[in-house]
Amino acid sequence: MSAFVKYLFILLFLLGIGTGTPVLAQDTSYAPVNPGAPERVKVNNIFIIGNQKTQKSVILRELDFTTDYYYDWETFVGIIQADQQKIYNLRLFTEVEITPLFTGEEEVEILISVKERWYILPSIIFQLADRNFAEWWTNQGRDWSRVNYGLRVSHSNVGGRNEKLRFSGQLGFTKALDMLYSKPYIDKKQKHGLAFQLTYADQKTIPIKSEFNRQVFYTNEMEEVLRKNFSTALRYTYRRTFYNFHFVTLGYNYTWINPDVLNENPNYFQHGENNLRYAYFQYSFRHDKRDNVAYATDGELLQISATKYGIFNTEDIDEIEININANIYKPLTERIHFAAGLTGVWFLSDQQPYTLVRGIGYNPNFIRGYELNVIEGQQLYVQKNSVRYKFLDFAIDISRYLPGDQFNTLPFKMYLSGNFDHGYVTDRNEIPENARLTNQYLFGYGAGIDIVGFYDAVLRLEYSVNNQGEGNIFFNFRAPF
């Protein structure tokens, strides 16, 4: 292992990028003890080891097989592999392994071995307030005042039932408080769940519009708070099958802006006041069959949502937004895979409050090569493509330095990627200052290196060129899609 790779890995570890779950245990053998594979098999018992905190029912919920039933052997091997991925994607374990143990010619005992992660994670918040690293580095001149810092405390497995509890307090560019509690299952059949979130934030510098496809930020002379935002939401979840989820969310949002903002941009809100209040209702459907939710190499993802802004009182806003996101990940060889994603966003009205403005350049909608730009409008289409080659895959055993099981193995993967993205933004208002990139076909292409490390942390270094002939090196901390 070269010194360069070691230093990159150490950087990932020290920065603590990402909070996912390390890679699934590899090379698990499902061959039976007897010389030949049976035509069918019956499961007698299921045993689980390693779940010191997690309740057994949470793991059993992910299994697509049951006891005292005969399965075709080849089908059963596929079920085991899929169930292993589902348990892993709970993000409760650093390792998962399912092993069938033959007790007869057509009978097995199932052993599920898991290694639990560290569930209580106090962490330091230190992140850029801008859209991406390139925006901060180039457009904002590496201004360290545009950094958020604070403390976040998360418990990802309250009571061993996969409940999430998070508190965070943040200072810096954006002062914020956030609380989240989610309970994936509130019934014995483990199909219905609830989540609640409460957020407050205020800022002294805010984007008030875009000109020449760049955000325009404003701070008044007194450096007063320019925007305060309070939001709360209650979400109901229904998981009918293993891979299909339904979400219904009822929320409320209140945004106050300093009158100076309206002096700079009278169209920041459309109703002529400096307060925006609305309740909203959202329905979402998600089909998620990815092998790794943090950095997928196989499977598919489909997400569809419709949001109605303004329910009981539509004087401030009366708007509908529709989103669709469809990704596919296809292995081509053992080391090469292809990833493609399609995103569409539609607003029904010609103009929205600036707090709801969408477009290319706002996460997660981007085209490689246009990271420095925002292309705003009421409709957008983005299609992304990547071919990735895994040229490094190893793990470092540090058990003699850290006795805890949660951190004694540090996985590390590196991929070479070739990328091509393209898309289109429709701006019905045809703002002249942004006409260079709106209402026209855009594309970007390039190559990069993706690093997947500790707890599925992702670090991407890419060089991309867009169809305006502009090229640059871009640095990102998450998977592109």
The hierarchical CATH code for the domain 23-116 is: 3.10.20.310
Q: pLDDT tens-digit profile of 99-124? A: 999 988 899 999 999 988 888 777 77
- Write down the pLDDT at residue 146: 81
Range 120-476 has CATH code 2.40.160.50: yes
**pLDDT for the residue 61:** 93
Tell me whether domains 23-116 and 120-476 share a fold: no
- The residue assigned the tokens 């076909």 is 441
- CB count in 10 Å sphere of residue 406: 16
HSE-CB at 258 with a 13 A cutoff on CA atoms is 20
pLDDT of residue 399: 67
Model-level pTM? 0.82
CB 53 within 8 A of CB 119: yes
What does the pLDDT read at residue 83?
Answer: 95
Distance from the first to the final alpha carbon of the chain: 29
CA–CA distance, 303 with 244 (Å, rounded to integer):
10
What pLDDT, on a 0 to 100 scale, did the predictor assign at position 403? 61
Give me the residue label for tokens 């779940």.
Answer: 51
Residue 2: the pLDDT is: 45
Q: What is the mean pLDDT of each run of 10 residues along the chain (481 residues)?
A: 40 36 36 63 94 93 92 93 93 91 91 88 76 77 81 88 91 90 92 96 91 91 90 96 96 95 90 91 96 91 96 89 97 96 93 90 88 92 96 79 64 92 93 92 95 80 91 81 83
Counting every residue written for the chain, the total comes to 481
For the chain, give every domain's residue range. Answer: 23-116, 120-476
Report the run of H or E that residue 86 belongs to, with start and end.
Answer: helix 73-88
